[in-house]
Amino acid sequence: MQSPSLLRRVLLLSTVHPATDPRIVGKIAPNLAKHYEVKILLPSQPPSLELWDVRMPFFKNLLFRVLLCHPLAFAEFLRFRPHIVHIFVAELLPLAFVFRWFGAEVIYEVQENLYKKIPLKSYNRGWLFERLFRFFDQKARRTFKFIFTEDAYLTEYQNLEKSYAVIHNFASLELLSIPSPVPDGQHPTFFYAGVISYERAFDTMLKALVLVKEKYPAVRLRLFGHLRLPKKNLHESLYYQAVKENLVFYGYLPQKEVFEYTRNALAGIALLKPVGDYADSYPTKLFDYMALGLPVITSDLPLLRAVVEPVNCGFCVSPYDAEALAERMIWMIEHSERLKEMGEDGRRAVLEKYHWEEGKLLDIYDA
């Protein structure tokens, strides 16, 4: 392998993704570090990480990020002088053109279809922001390489002039080495990881849990992720009040810590409502659950049915149908002996098909 001083330098940059982001820090950076000198600049970066020694503050407000974080990112660019800058959010597109003027190659990773997603946003979606996004996004298509996390994004991005690749956020093969879960017979437990919002069917999960609790009062739902709904609305919900003792909120935790809690779970839940670009998107945790040996309960969208049903690793239900969700949860409680086989089927599917594609990442860098 080349000496570090001879390796091409890569800066992985986001003003939104946390320092523990499993795709950037857990997959992309380690793969690239075998071939490049890699630096990561993410919000609230822990100073103890050897490769990623730059800290960036996090601001929810986009204007604050532009005024305070973008200058910091540019200063780090000048200090490190990377050959390649890989950006992960659209707000960095104007700055990316500055990087390009200084001689760096830019790879823009599209992780959501903002043309469908912006109308759903409750903040950071002003008229000016949207116009600027559309302008720079169209300009980027003629200048930068692209990485997409979903095939469906190519429907929007058809006029690309540089190399591009679709690299799904499938599971890391390392998860296959984690022992399969052993369900807790006394406290039937279900697992959810991801943003907690009504778009991700949290309201349906609450209603379903009420029904399951009638038959199994000790049922639990462990939830890991940011709560993206008003706490006042939550506490005013009669469904929440009925099952609040059965809910365990952990907040956002690093992925390795989260997966420790799957050991006694019956199944992992990954429900998306068909709003915005969700109908065309894989919930990342679906594949993580499969790799961990957890049976899954996910939405009955065609994209997801094509993953789950052929390998019989779980169930697909309407993200609006609480009764159907409750029925599947109760079945899993009462047929726990069948879950190990479902979990192993999911693991096999990850090994054969739904795993992280390191080769595609290196190909787009070398293209």
Rounded distance, CA 120 to CA 141, Å?
Answer: 24
DSSP symbols for 297-358: EEE--HHHHHHHHHHT-EEEE-TT-HHHHHHHHHHHHHTGGGHHHHHHHHHHHHHHTSB--H
| C-alpha to C-alpha distance for 205 and 288, rounded to whole angstroms | 20
Q: DSSP strand E in the chain: where?
A: 9-13, 37-41, 84-87, 105-110, 145-148, 164-166, 189-193, 220-224, 247-249, 267-270, 296-299, 314-317
> In whole angstroms, what is the distance from residue 15 CA to residue 184 CA?
40
The upper half-sphere exposure of residue 77, i.e. CA atoms within 13 Å in the direction of its Cβ, equals 27
Which amino acid, 259?
F
Q: For the whole prediction, is pTM greater than 0.95?
A: no
Q: Does domain 4-167 bear CATH number 3.40.50.11930?
A: yes
CB 92 within 8 Å of CB 15: yes
CA dihedral 113, 115, 117, 122 (to 10 degrees): 140
Name the nearest CA neighbour of 108 among 205, 211, 13: 13
Distance (Å, whole) CA 109 – CA 96: 12
- How many other CB atoms sit within 10 Å of the CB of residue 1? 7
Measured between alpha carbons, how far is 265 from 180 in angstroms, rounded to an integer? 10
State whether residue 37 is helix, strand or coil. Answer: strand
Per-domain residue ranges of the chain: 4-167, 173-352
Beta-carbon contacts of 169 under 8 Å, excluding residues fewer than 6 positions away, are 23, 149, 282, 284, 287, 356
> Could you tell me if 150 and 166 are in contact, meaning their C-beta atoms sit under 8 angstroms apart?
yes
pLDDT tens series, the chain, 367 aa: 555 557 899 999 999 998 889 999 999 999 999 999 999 999 875 444 444 455 688 888 888 999 999 999 999 999 999 999 999 999 999 999 999 999 999 999 999 988 887 766 665 566 778 889 999 999 999 999 999 999 999 999 988 999 999 999 999 999 999 888 988 778 899 999 999 999 999 999 999 999 999 999 999 999 999 998 887 888 889 999 999 999 999 998 888 899 999 989 999 999 999 988 888 899 999 999 999 999 999 999 999 999 999 999 999 999 999 999 999 999 999 999 999 999 999 999 999 999 999 999 999 999 8
Q: What does the buried/exposed string (b/e) look like for 69-92 if buried means 16 or more CB atoms within 10 Å of the residue's CB?
A: bbebbeebbeebebebbbbbbbbb
133 contacts 124 by C-beta, under 8 angstroms: no
Residue 242's closest CA among 331, 184, 322?
322
Establish whether domains 4-167 and 173-352 are of one fold.
yes
| Nearest partner of 266 among 212, 214, 320, 319, judged by Cα | 212
**Cβ–Cβ contacts within 10 Å for residue 6, how many?**
8
Pick the CATH number of 173-352 from 1.10.238.10, 3.40.630.30, 3.40.50.2000, 3.90.1150.10: 3.40.50.2000
Nearest to 268 by CA among 320, 339, 199: 339
